[in-house]
Amino acid sequence: MQLKTIFFIFSLVISLIANGCNNNKNAEDNFNYGDSTKLPPVETSKPNAKYKPAFPGQTRVSGVKTITPYRVEKIAEKLGRPWAIIPLNDGRLLISEKSGYMEIRNSNGSLIKKIIGFPEVDDAGQGGLLDVALDPDFKDNKIIYWSFSEQYGNGNLTAVAKGKLNESGGKIENPKVIFRATPALESVLHFGSRLVFDKEGYLFVSTGERSIIEGRVQAQQISSGLGKIFKITKDGKPAPGNPFLNNNKAMPEIYAYGIRNAQSLDIHPVTGDLWEAEFGPRGGDELNIIKAGKNYGWPIIGYGIEYSGEKIGEAIQQKPGMEQPVYYWDPVLSPSGMVFYKGNAIPEWKNNLFIGGLSSQHIARLVIENNKVVGEERLLADKYERFRDVAYFNGMLFAITDSGNLYKISKK
């Protein structure tokens, strides 16, 4: 009897444990931890706002993990205050520095040339010499474009200029401002300022709404250049076909509006769509596909709260006529420069999006299928760096940080 009693108690305990495990299953318990494509979401912290996403997969999707071995190398340091990095045609790197100059560096990180001669910049706060883009015919004409914060009237604004890169002379020749995102305001924040050319040779320019209330409300005004995505020609004129060309109350250069502060732009290598990421306040950083004439909602709708903890406006997340983000983060990513991985040296990265995270201190890798984010991974989180920009060239990624470091990521 005693042995039977012991056996009965043992069986009962095993049964209770098994039933308890089954009853406590939830979505995360169903992940197969041996599967690199269906891991728990990378974000585990409590969100700032108790808002519901508009559709499944709009935030906190499954985590993924890169299987292909890759190498991370710090190839340069003490770069000052770098803001943008782009590859030249031959794989060398052009890097902007906020105080008003650029550098050309080898793909091994060594300095080749310092480039000066740029118009004076206002580098207080988030301002300075910011993004840089190559003319589509750069190989022949050596023309580059750059954005910067410019003192203008009684305030400052985001301006775009162009000039010829004289590498041997270490200077820019014939610099000329081709576009200004008016009006100028007195603020050192939210200049936006990312540049990218499309396949037709037109230049997309992002601007912020300058953070202050006076500028914030102008993100919804198509007569203002604040909180916008512009599409312009190489001479700074409105691109043909722009959505507000025939509206005499609008800036004809505007392509889309309702933007908070976009420091991230790139074009999908397959679809040709323009993708954008922007800072939210406390929570609500967004990833969007930018379409002509569309309103992206700021500050009417959003998934964040004020830095004070108060609600923003009516605290609504959806409104007819306003676009939903493809994806959002809460807590924030603080998205700066981003780039699509256009090769297959690391096969699972092909057409993935890589975004430099500032306050989040990592590079976000996003797997995208049918214009939806289906997987997220955090790279270089062990470096504890504010990643300002990310560039792609020939199967490699290059990243710069606010501390002045330059990293190369390549297949082992």
Q: Is residue 4 part of a domain?
A: no
Can you give the pLDDT at residue 412?
95
Q: Is residue 3 part of a domain?
A: no
How many whole angstroms from its chain centre is CA 394? 21
Is 37 exposed, middle or buried, given 0-12, 13-18 or 19+ CB atoms closer than 10 A? middle
User: How many domains does the chain fold into?
Assistant: 1
| Residue matched to tokens 């300058």 | 210
What residue spans of 1-56 are helical by DSSP H? 2-23
Three-class SS state of 219: helix
Per-residue pLDDT of the chain (412 residues; tens, 9 = 90+): 443 443 333 343 333 333 333 333 333 333 333 457 789 999 999 999 999 999 999 999 999 999 999 999 999 999 999 999 999 999 999 999 999 999 999 999 999 999 999 999 999 999 999 999 999 999 999 999 999 999 999 999 999 999 999 999 999 999 999 999 999 999 999 999 999 999 999 999 999 999 999 999 999 999 999 999 999 999 999 999 999 999 999 999 999 999 999 999 999 999 999 999 999 999 999 999 999 999 999 999 999 999 999 999 999 999 999 999 999 999 999 999 999 999 999 999 999 999 999 999 999 999 999 999 999 999 999 999 999 999 999 999 999 999 999 999 999 9
How many whole angstroms from its chain centre is CA 129? 18
Please give the helix or strand (H or E) that residue 207 lies within, else none: none
Q: Is residue 302 part of a domain?
A: yes
Can you give the pLDDT at residue 10?
38
DSSP string, 229-240: EEEE-TTSPBPT
Give the whole-angstrom CA distance, residue 205 versus residue 225. Answer: 11
Signed CA dihedral, 369, 28, 63, 335: sign only: positive
Q: Where are the beta strands (DSSP E) in 268-371?
A: 274-278, 285-290, 327-329, 335-340, 353-357, 363-369
Give the whole-angstrom CA distance, residue 275 versus residue 273. Answer: 6
List active site positions.
Answer: 190
Can you give the pLDDT at residue 35?
53
User: What residue numbers bound the domain in which 75 lies?
Assistant: 32-411
- Max CA distance (Å), the chain: 100
Can you give the pLDDT at residue 11?
43
Give the whole-angstrom CA distance, residue 142 versus residue 134. Answer: 8
DSSP string, 258-294: --S-EEEEEE-TTT--EEEEE--SBS-EEEEEE-TT-
Q: Which residues are within 8 A (CB) of 286 and not within 5 positions of it... i.e. 6 or more apart?
A: 260, 277, 278, 280, 296, 302, 303, 325, 327, 328
Contact 400, 406 (CB under 8 A): yes
Can you give the pLDDT at residue 101?
98
CATH number of the structural domain spanning residue 336: 2.120.10.30
pTM over 0.85? The answer is yes
Give the whole-angstrom CA distance, residue 231 versus residue 207. Answer: 12
Can you give the pLDDT at residue 30?
35
Rg (CA), the chain: 24
Q: Is residue 27 part of a domain?
A: no
Q: Is residue 153 part of a domain?
A: yes
| Residue matched to tokens 């540049």 | 195
Q: Is residue 1 part of a domain?
A: no
